[in-house]
Amino acid sequence: MFKISEATAIALHSMIYISNQDGEFVSLKPISEQFEISEHHLSKVLQRLVKTGFLKSIKGPKGGFKILSDKTEATFLEIYEAIEGKVEPSSCLFPARVSNCSDCIMGDFLKRASKDFYNYLKGKKISDFKKI
Protein backbone atom coordinates (compact mmCIF):
# COMPACT_ATOMS: atom_id res chain seq x y z
CA MET A 1 0.00 0.00 0.00
CA PHE A 2 1.02 3.59 -0.38
CA LYS A 3 1.32 6.11 2.40
CA ILE A 4 1.03 9.85 2.56
CA SER A 5 2.68 11.23 5.67
CA GLU A 6 1.98 14.64 7.10
CA ALA A 7 5.43 15.67 5.86
CA THR A 8 4.48 14.75 2.29
CA ALA A 9 1.19 16.63 2.56
CA ILE A 10 3.11 19.67 3.83
CA ALA A 11 5.65 19.37 1.02
CA LEU A 12 3.05 19.16 -1.74
CA HIS A 13 0.90 22.01 -0.43
CA SER A 14 3.91 24.21 0.37
CA MET A 15 5.42 23.75 -3.07
CA ILE A 16 2.17 24.90 -4.67
CA TYR A 17 1.84 27.83 -2.24
CA ILE A 18 5.43 28.96 -2.82
CA SER A 19 5.17 28.56 -6.61
CA ASN A 20 2.21 30.93 -6.59
CA GLN A 21 4.26 33.74 -5.03
CA ASP A 22 5.72 34.90 -8.37
CA GLY A 23 9.34 34.04 -7.60
CA GLU A 24 9.41 35.89 -4.29
CA PHE A 25 10.93 34.43 -1.15
CA VAL A 26 8.25 33.30 1.28
CA SER A 27 8.80 33.08 5.02
CA LEU A 28 7.55 30.24 7.18
CA LYS A 29 4.84 32.26 8.91
CA PRO A 30 2.35 32.74 6.04
CA ILE A 31 2.71 29.10 4.97
CA SER A 32 2.25 27.77 8.49
CA GLU A 33 -0.79 30.01 8.99
CA GLN A 34 -2.31 29.01 5.63
CA PHE A 35 -2.13 25.30 6.42
CA GLU A 36 -2.37 25.53 10.22
CA ILE A 37 0.88 23.66 10.85
CA SER A 38 3.80 24.32 13.17
CA GLU A 39 6.63 26.44 11.80
CA HIS A 40 9.11 23.95 13.26
CA HIS A 41 7.67 20.98 11.32
CA LEU A 42 7.26 23.11 8.20
CA SER A 43 10.88 24.23 8.44
CA LYS A 44 12.12 20.64 8.59
CA VAL A 45 10.09 19.67 5.52
CA LEU A 46 11.14 22.73 3.52
CA GLN A 47 14.81 22.17 4.41
CA ARG A 48 14.45 18.66 3.00
CA LEU A 49 13.13 20.20 -0.23
CA VAL A 50 16.11 22.57 -0.27
CA LYS A 51 18.52 19.64 0.12
CA THR A 52 16.82 17.71 -2.68
CA GLY A 53 16.98 20.68 -5.06
CA PHE A 54 13.37 21.87 -5.22
CA LEU A 55 13.70 25.08 -3.21
CA LYS A 56 16.25 27.76 -2.47
CA SER A 57 16.40 29.36 0.95
CA ILE A 58 18.01 32.42 2.45
CA LYS A 59 18.17 33.43 6.08
CA GLY A 60 17.33 36.79 7.57
CA PRO A 61 14.43 39.22 7.81
CA LYS A 62 13.89 39.23 4.04
CA GLY A 63 14.63 35.54 3.73
CA GLY A 64 12.49 32.55 3.18
CA PHE A 65 11.97 29.90 0.54
CA LYS A 66 11.60 30.15 -3.20
CA ILE A 67 10.94 27.45 -5.78
CA LEU A 68 13.74 26.93 -8.26
CA SER A 69 12.60 27.92 -11.74
CA ASP A 70 13.23 24.49 -13.23
CA LYS A 71 11.10 22.84 -10.52
CA THR A 72 7.82 24.57 -11.35
CA GLU A 73 7.15 21.59 -13.64
CA ALA A 74 8.02 19.04 -10.95
CA THR A 75 5.55 16.21 -10.60
CA PHE A 76 3.86 15.24 -7.37
CA LEU A 77 5.74 11.95 -7.71
CA GLU A 78 9.11 13.72 -7.61
CA ILE A 79 8.12 15.62 -4.47
CA TYR A 80 6.58 12.54 -2.88
CA GLU A 81 9.77 10.57 -3.44
CA ALA A 82 11.92 13.42 -2.06
CA ILE A 83 10.07 13.00 1.25
CA GLU A 84 8.99 9.35 1.36
CA GLY A 85 11.58 7.65 -0.83
CA LYS A 86 10.89 5.56 -3.90
CA VAL A 87 7.28 4.52 -4.44
CA GLU A 88 7.04 0.81 -3.88
CA PRO A 89 3.86 -0.53 -5.46
CA SER A 90 2.29 -3.24 -3.36
CA SER A 91 -0.55 -5.63 -3.74
CA CYS A 92 -0.49 -7.09 -0.24
CA LEU A 93 -1.84 -5.85 3.10
CA PHE A 94 1.11 -7.36 4.97
CA PRO A 95 4.19 -5.14 5.31
CA ALA A 96 6.46 -8.03 4.31
CA ARG A 97 5.15 -9.73 1.22
CA VAL A 98 3.72 -13.12 2.03
CA SER A 99 4.56 -15.64 -0.65
CA ASN A 100 2.33 -18.43 0.58
CA CYS A 101 -0.97 -16.68 -0.13
CA SER A 102 -2.72 -18.36 -2.99
CA ASP A 103 -5.60 -15.88 -3.32
CA CYS A 104 -5.54 -12.40 -1.86
CA ILE A 105 -8.66 -11.50 0.07
CA MET A 106 -8.50 -8.09 -1.62
CA GLY A 107 -8.32 -9.52 -5.13
CA ASP A 108 -6.49 -7.13 -7.45
CA PHE A 109 -7.93 -4.03 -5.74
CA LEU A 110 -4.65 -3.09 -4.01
CA LYS A 111 -2.65 -3.52 -7.20
CA ARG A 112 -5.07 -1.27 -9.10
CA ALA A 113 -5.18 1.30 -6.29
CA SER A 114 -1.37 1.43 -6.12
CA LYS A 115 -1.16 1.86 -9.89
CA ASP A 116 -3.80 4.61 -9.87
CA PHE A 117 -2.01 6.39 -7.02
CA TYR A 118 1.33 6.19 -8.84
CA ASN A 119 -0.18 7.45 -12.10
CA TYR A 120 -1.93 10.31 -10.31
CA LEU A 121 1.33 11.44 -8.67
CA LYS A 122 3.19 11.10 -11.94
CA GLY A 123 0.54 13.01 -13.89
CA LYS A 124 0.13 16.04 -11.60
CA LYS A 125 2.60 18.93 -11.74
CA ILE A 126 3.11 21.92 -9.49
CA SER A 127 2.30 24.13 -12.49
CA ASP A 128 -1.15 22.51 -12.74
CA PHE A 129 -2.06 24.53 -9.64
CA LYS A 130 -0.63 27.89 -10.71
CA LYS A 131 -3.01 30.73 -10.00
CA ILE A 132 -3.53 33.02 -12.94
Architecture of domain 6-129: Orthogonal Bundle (1.10)
pTM of the model: 0.86
d(CA 74, CA 29): 24
d(CA 103, CA 123): 31
Domain residue spans of the chain? 6-129
pLDDT at residue 97 tops 70: no
What is the rounded average pLDDT for all residues in the chain? Answer: 88
At 87, is the pLDDT very low, low, confident or very high (cuts 50, 70, 90)? confident
d(CA 86, CA 70): 21
Read off the pLDDT of residues 13-71 as tens digits, 9 standing for 90 and up: 999 999 999 889 999 999 999 999 999 999 999 999 999 999 999 998 888 999 998 89
pLDDT at residue 99 tops 70: no
